[in-house]
Chain A
Amino acid sequence: MEKRVTFKGWKLPFLLILPQVIVSAVFFFYPAGQAIYQSLFIPDPFGLSSRFVGLGNFEYLFSNRYYLASFTTTAVFSVLVTLCSMIPALFLAVMADRLVKGAGTYRTLLIWPYAIAPAIAGVLWLFMFNTRIGIVSWYLGKLGYDWNHVLNGAEAMGLVVVASSWGRISYNFLFFFAALQAVPKSVIEAAAIDGARFWRRFFTIVLPLISPTLFFLLVVNVVYAFFETFGVIHTITSGGPQQSTTILVYKVFSDGFVGQDLGSSAAQSVVLLVVVGLLSVAQFKFIEKRVHY
Chain B
Amino acid sequence: MAREQTGMVERRGTGLWLTHVLMICGVLVVFFPIWLAFVASTVTQADIASPPLPLIPGGHFVENYSRALFSGVNVPVGTMLVNSMIMAIGIAVGKIVISLLSAFAIVYFRFPGRNIFFWLIFLTLMLPVEVRIVPTYEVVASFGMLNSYSGLILPLIASATATFLFRQFYLTVPDELAEAARVDGARPMRFFWDILLPMSRTNIAALFVILFIYGWNQYLWPLLITTKPEMNTIVMGIKQMFPSGDDLADWPVIMATSILAMIPPIFVVVSMQKLFIRGLVDSEK
Contact = CB atoms under 8 A, between A and B. Distances in A.
A188 interface: yes
Contact of B128 (A35, A92, A124, A276): A276
Contacts of B261: 117, 120
B189 A31 contact: no
A12 B20 CA distance: 57
A123 B257 CA distance: 11
A23 B255 CA distance: 37
Contacts of A174: 277, 280-281
A32 B129 CA distance: 10
Interface in B4-19: 4-6, 8-10, 16, 19
Nearest to A290: B285
A185 interface: yes
Interface residues of B, number: 103
B137 to A, nearest CB: 8
B109 A10 contact: yes
B19 A99 contact: yes
B216 A117 contact: yes
Nearest to B285: A290
Contacts, number: 303
Contacts of B20: 99, 102
Contact of B220 (A14, A98, A102, A231): A231
Nearest to B179: A5
B189 A12 contact: yes
Given A24-B121, A108-B273, A134-B51, A227 B128 contact: yes
A78 interface: no
A109 B111 CA distance: 48
Nearest to A117: B217
Nearest to A275: B131
Given A111-B269, A170-B30, A230-B130, A257 B139 contact: no
Given A98-B19, A112-B34, A114-B269, A31 B235 contact: no
A257 B217 CA distance: 21
Contact of A95 (B19, B154, B266): B19
Which residue of B110, B121, B134, B220 has the most chain A CB atoms within 10 A of its CB atom?
B134
A133 B51 contact: yes
A86 to B, nearest CB: 14
A88 interface: yes
A119 B219 contact: yes
B64 interface: no
Interface in A77-110: 88, 91-92, 95-96, 98-100, 102, 106-110
Q: Chain A: interface secondary structure?
A: helix
Contacts of B99: 20
A141 B22 CA distance: 28
A178 B254 CA distance: 36
Interface string B216-234: 1101100110000000000
B219 A31 contact: no
Contacts of A1: 171
A16 B104 contact: yes
A262 interface: yes
Given A249-B130, A252-B130, A192 B8 contact: yes
A273 B26 CA distance: 37
B247 to A, nearest CB: 13
A178 B277 contact: yes
Contact of B238 (A24, A120, A170): A120
Contacts of A13: 105-106, 108-109, 111, 114
A193 interface: yes
Contacts of B30: 109-110, 112-113, 166, 169-170
A110 B25 CA distance: 11
A116 B131 contact: no
Interface in B131-165: 131-136, 138-140, 154-155, 157-160, 163
8 closest A-B pairs by CB: A117-B217, A34-B135, A115-B265, A13-B105, A231-B219, A10-B111, A31-B135, A27-B158
Interface of B: 4-6, 8-10, 16, 19-20, 22-23, 26-27, 30-31, 33-34, 36-37, 40, 48-53, 97-99, 101-102, 104-112, 114, 117, 120-121, 124-128, 130-136, 138-140, 154-155, 157-160, 163, 170-171, 175, 178-179, 182, 188-189, 191, 213, 216-217, 219-220, 223-224, 235-236, 238-239, 251, 254-255, 258, 261-262, 265-266, 268-270, 273, 277, 280-281, 284-285
7 contacts: A10-B109, A12-B189, A30-B139, A123-B37, A133-B49, A185-B5, A231-B217
